[in-house]
Structure 1
Amino acid sequence: MKLTVLGATGGIGKEIVRQALDAGHEVTAVVRDPARLPVTGDRLEVFRADLTDPGALRPAVGGRDAVLSGLGARGRKDAGIAARLTRTVLAALEAEEVRRLLVVSAAPVGPAPEGDGFLDRAVLGVVSAVLKDIYADLREMEAEVAGSGTDWTVVRPPRLQDKPLTGRYRTVVGGFPRKGRFIGRGDVAHAMLGMVGDPATVKQGVGVAY
């Protein structure tokens, strides 16, 4: 497949690029600073683009089978960036008539897992309060994506870890794995790549966790 990866220098983005190349896909990695992308390969195109301009992004997404986005805030000071940049992405996809889009959100933005106990709910409440601006940004991003004409999937991981790819995790379409508290960035990337061709995940939020 021909894939475009947005936020390709981020933790999840780098893993998507690396794993997609290993799987034999052609990858366009959209970055602001090419020097920050440590991945190389014969099937890799590094595309430097201003993500505030849909016109500048169009050549990077046109003719692709899917676009996978790891865009999002790296801290509370960046709150608002996910929705803002995703609007640019959606405009570029519409102009190029590219339909398949996968984006990363966060577990607290989606429905609570069935059967979680008091402690799980309490921890989630504290985290949501501390990061409320980031989650508000992600909710706005999800609303923009859901209102678009794309065949979208929103992937909602819990707390992210820098761990080697395991390929062993749980996914719940339309919900979230019970007591799923952590997941490695490499496994989020693995899950997203697996969802690209999965019709069951189209126009759905998908919880993913260990």
Structure 2
Amino acid sequence: MRLTVFGATGRVGHTLVHDALGQGHEVTAYVRDPKRLGIKHGRLVIKKGSLEDGTTVAEAIRGSEVVVSAIGARDATHAVTVVTEATRAIVTAMKAEGVQRLVTVGAAGLLPHAAGGLTGEHGLPPFLRHAFEDHRGAFLGLQDSGLDWVVVCPPVMPSGVKTGKYRTAVEALPTGGRQVYAEDVADFTLKVATGQEHHRVRVGIVGD
């Protein structure tokens, strides 16, 4: 399968690119700084550019079967729109190129809350507020996009190792889990991207 990956130099994106190549997929990694990727492979195309450059974004997506976005703000201590704007640019390019499937890495706050609305709208700690608002903007854009989207929603996501031991639930966060390794999020995100089990849903994931 041919994938285009945005956010390929981040924790989830980098692992996902590495694993996808190891599984025999063809990958285009869209990055600002190719040196930060640190991966060379015969089935890897590295496309340098910014998300403000719609032409280059479209070129990176052209011919792909699925797009993965693992983009996140590096500093969310103040109001940011990094994920919202990136998702908007990616959706626009996908429509132009006729690519339908988009898998993104969001946050547990995007999952439904029992009282209505999103989990992040109920008692979210102040230090997470800006990141949540950014992810919410992206999610609202996906809902209106008409694309075949899936949002992977982890809670706290430390770096660690790929254990392969995690639990997932559609439109909910599995009970009893408060974190999941970024490497396991990458593992599951790749499975979603290359499979056909999930369509237009949010999927919560926690470590086992």
- TM-score normalized by structure 2? 0.91
**Identity across the alignment (%):** 37
Describe the SS at the equivalent of 1:4.
strand
Could you say which residue in structure 1 is the equivalent of 2:202? 205
How far has the Cα of 1:150 moved from its partner? Answer: 1.1
Query: What whole-Å deviation, never above 9, does each CA across 1:1-41 have from its counterpart, x for those lacking one?
Result: 00111011111110110010111100101000001012221
- Tell whether the 8 Å contact from 1:151 to 1:203 is kept in structure 2 after alignment: yes
Counterpart amino acid of residue 185 in structure 1:
A
Counterpart amino acid of residue 103 in structure 1:
T
Could you say which residue in structure 1 is the equivalent of 2:94? 93
Could you say which residue in structure 1 is the equivalent of 2:75? 75
CA distance in 1 between partners of 2:164 and 2:19 (Å)? 12
Describe the SS at the equivalent of 1:9.
coil
How far has the Cα of 1:179 moved from its partner? Answer: 2.2
Describe the SS at the equivalent of 1:159.
coil
Could you say which residue in structure 1 is the equivalent of 2:34? 34
Counterpart amino acid of residue 85 in structure 1:
A
- Tell whether the 8 Å contact from 1:112 to 1:176 is kept in structure 2 after alignment: no
How far has the Cα of 1:198 moved from its partner? Answer: 3.6
- TM-score normalized by structure 1? 0.90
Q: CA RMSD in A?
A: 1.8
How far has the Cα of 1:78 moved from its partner? Answer: 6.5
CA distance in 2 between partners of 1:188 and 1:143 (Å)? 22
Describe the SS at the equivalent of 2:180.
strand
Q: 1:167 aligns with which of 155, 160, 164?
A: 164
Describe the SS at the equivalent of 1:193.
helix
CA distance in 2 between partners of 1:197 and 1:14 (Å)? 17
- Tell whether the 8 Å contact from 2:79 to 2:130 is kept in structure 1 after alignment: no
Could you say which residue in structure 2 is the equivalent of 1:157? 154
Describe the SS at the equivalent of 2:203.
strand
Could you say which residue in structure 1 is the equivalent of 2:127? 130
> If each structure's helix is expressed as a fraction of its own residues, which one has the higher value?
1
Aligned residue pairs, count? 201
Could you say which residue in structure 1 is the equivalent of 2:105? 104
How far has the Cα of 1:57 moved from its partner? Answer: 0.8
How far has the Cα of 1:199 moved from its partner? Answer: 3.3
Counterpart amino acid of residue 9 in structure 2:
T
Describe the SS at the equivalent of 1:200.
coil
- Tell whether the 8 Å contact from 2:28 to 2:47 is kept in structure 1 after alignment: yes
Unmatched runs of 5 consecutive residues or more in structure 2: none
Of 101-110 and 197-206, deviating more is: 197-206
Unmatched runs of 5 consecutive residues or more in structure 1: 114-120
- Tell whether the 8 Å contact from 1:153 to 1:205 is kept in structure 2 after alignment: yes
Describe the SS at the equivalent of 2:157.
strand
CA distance in 2 between partners of 1:102 and 1:48 (Å)? 21
How far has the Cα of 1:126 moved from its partner? Answer: 5.0
